[in-house]
A and B are shown apart, each in its own frame.
Chain A
């Protein structure tokens, strides 16, 4: 079993839809949770960053961490064609557990 599981999709939604992307993990030492966005033929870029549990909102994007269930989510409201990309979750512990562990990424297409 991988430390981080992420459904690769692809996920296809109409413009304006609410998108939910998810990752599960097994290591309870993870404290830092990230979502990266990767456009085709580009490098990943950090989209959302959360420490420990709770929600974080940035415009149309909301990151949610549930440490009790070892489950993180990224919600995209009013999705746009420009949101079409691969979304990768990543997580890390602290101190000696700082190694960054990546999900495989979920491919999202938002159709006009």
Chain B
């Protein structure tokens, strides 16, 4: 079965360190997204990609970067982790063209703690 997997599921790091969260999907979807979810703020879009070599900033992109070198993967990098980036991060993908607008398939989440 097609799926979307995130790793690591849990990570604790220190302020100032670089962190990369991996996202791999086997749906063969063109669209991929990174969200963070925090109490009181809900899901907020960090970065998204509509295809290989395409990346776009979301509403909370400062301090984060992504790259899309193939269809399956969209790693999220925190250049210099800050305590404000302690959160649960979700990767999602969706089909372009024939897919339903707004139908996203989510990973299980990566819980990041920055000390």
Residue A63 interfacial (CB < 8 Å)? no
A92 to B100, CA, bound (A): 11
Type the 1/0 row for B86-103, where 1 means its CB is closer than 8 Å to any CB of A.
000010100000001111
Closest to B43 in A: A102
Picked from B43, B103, B108, the residue with its CB within 8 Å of the CB of A34 is B103
- Measured CB to CB, the nearest residue on chain B to A104 is B42
Q: Interface size of A by Cβ–Cβ distance < 8 Å?
A: 20
Please determine whether B108 and A88 come into contact, CB atoms closer than 8 angstroms.
no
| Most chain B CB within a 10 A radius of its CB, from A41, A43, A103, A105 | A43
Contact A32 B42 (CB under 8 A): no
A49: interface (CB < 8 Å): yes
- In the bound assembly, the distance between CA atoms of A90 and B107 in angstroms comes to 17
Which residue on B lies nearest to A98, using beta carbons? B101
Q: Is the CB of B106 within 8 A of A45?
A: yes
For B102, give its contact among A34, A42, A103 (CB under 8 Å).
Answer: A34
Q: Is the CB of A43 within 8 A of B100?
A: no
Report yes or no: B40 in contact with A42, Cβ–Cβ below 8 A.
no
Give residues in B with beta carbon < 8 Å to A. Answer: 40-43, 45, 90, 92, 100-104, 106-109
* 11 interchain pairs, CB-CB under 8 A: A34-B103, A41-B108, A41-B109, A42-B108, A43-B109, A44-B104, A46-B103, A49-B103, A92-B101, A100-B102, A105-B42
